[in-house]
Amino acid sequence: MTETTDDLVVLRELAFAYGERQVLHDINLRIPRGKVVGIMGGSGCGKTTILRLIGGQLRASMGEVRVAGEVVAELDRDRLYALRRKIGMLFQFGALFTDMTVFDNVAFPMREHTELPEEVIRDLVLLKLHAVGLRGAAQLRPSELSGGMARRVALARAISLDPMLVMYDEPFAGLDPISLGVVGQLIRRLNDALGITSVVVTHDVYESLKIVDYLYFISDGRVVASGTPAEVRSSTMPFVHQFVNGEPDGPVPFHYPALPLTEELMYAEPG
């Protein structure tokens, strides 16, 4: 893998384990500036762990994570926090503060990390909400929002500090088809309009192929395939074919490893 100055995020020969359980093995991937890059794979394959490594919440057991030219594991606390202020995050299911209004949810990062006066924060929040079509919902509470609206508020919060990078953890989970399409197009439009870089962790094949520039497929903690949407659609690789077409059996087996059924039934001990 050849790193270039156009790469905002680079993971090189990355490995990570939770205790004795190895989650990632020899991960190599690049995320170019200004692009929308998808990371796809089944549940538990290590996708969200990759986001945590990029953000410095976790430290790799081997290899290197480099963001904007800096090795994340080498940053002290102040420099790591400074880097994180340049990264927006949309958590799975939005993770809005339920006791705050929509306005205050979006304003929270500005109040926490800047010294902007309230009148400036007000204008910026309204602009962010307008960008996701929810300026009129500023005084609502999260409990008054639909799932799709809540996800759009979370997106407005993720871009509130004008980040260079936004990471999305399963942004389409639990959404109806209309909301799913709206959120997908917002990710693409805001990425291009704001000149940011986006990493989308998801297992939603159909929607991802409509918005990303490049895809990585993770299985058993390894990158098993990658390519543009056109390359993915035409791929004959068994894993990609199974994943894209939602087939129940293939390289990812339907059955968890076990003894042959006849053997287990015949020789099972009573009780």
CATH label of the domain that carries residue 175: 3.40.50.300
Mean pLDDT of 161-178: 87
Give residue 9's pLDDT band: very low, low, confident or very high (50, 70, 90): very high
Do strands 197-202 and 7-18 pair parallel, antiparallel, or not at all (unpaired)? Answer: unpaired
pLDDT tier for residue 244 given thresholds of 50, 70 and 90: low
pLDDT band at 248 (very low <50, low <70, confident <90, very high): low
Q: What is the pLDDT of residue 224?
A: 82
Q: What is the pLDDT of residue 10?
A: 93
pLDDT of residue 208: 83
Would 227 be classed as within a structural domain?
A: yes
Whether pTM exceeds 0.85: no
Has residue 225 been placed in a domain? yes
Task: Note whether residue 261 is domain-resident.
Answer: no
* Mean pLDDT of all residues in 58-69: 89
Contact residues for 234 (Cβ-Cβ < 8 A; gap 6+): none
What is the distance of C-alpha 249 from the center of its chain?
Answer: 26
pLDDT for position 140: 92
Encoded tokens for 95: 């993770």
Q: Note whether residue 205 is domain-resident.
A: yes
Residue 267 counted as domain residue: no
Q: Does a structural domain hold residue 15?
A: no
Least confident of 112-126, 183-197, 199-213: 199-213
Residues with Cβ within 8 Å of 74's Cβ and at least 6 positions away in sequence, in order, are none
Contact criterion met (CB below 8 Å) for 47 and 224: no
Q: How far is CA 82 from CA 53, 138, 158, 166, in A?
A: 16, 28, 16, 15
Which pLDDT band, with edges at 50, 70 and 90, does 46 fall under?
confident
- pLDDT, residue 4, reads 58
Residue 125 lies in a domain: yes
> For residue 2, with 0-12 CB atoms within 10 Å meaning exposed, 13-18 middle and 19 or more buried, which class applies?
exposed
In a domain, 256, yes or no: no
Q: Nearest CA to 106 among 96, 120, 118?
A: 96
Mean predicted confidence (pLDDT) in 96-102: 90
Mean pLDDT over all residues of the chain?
84
Which of 213, 202, 157 is closest to 180 using CA atoms?
Answer: 202
Q: Which of 79-88, 160-169, 222-231 has the lowest mean pLDDT?
A: 222-231
The region that residue 174 occupies, defined by phi over 0 for left and psi between -120 and 50 for alpha, beta otherwise, is left
- For the chain, how many structural domains are there in total? 1
Q: Supply the pLDDT for residue 164.
A: 93
Structural domain boundaries, residue 219: 34-61+79-245
β-strands 62-67, 7-18 pairing: antiparallel
Question: What's the full length of the chain, in residues?
Answer: 271
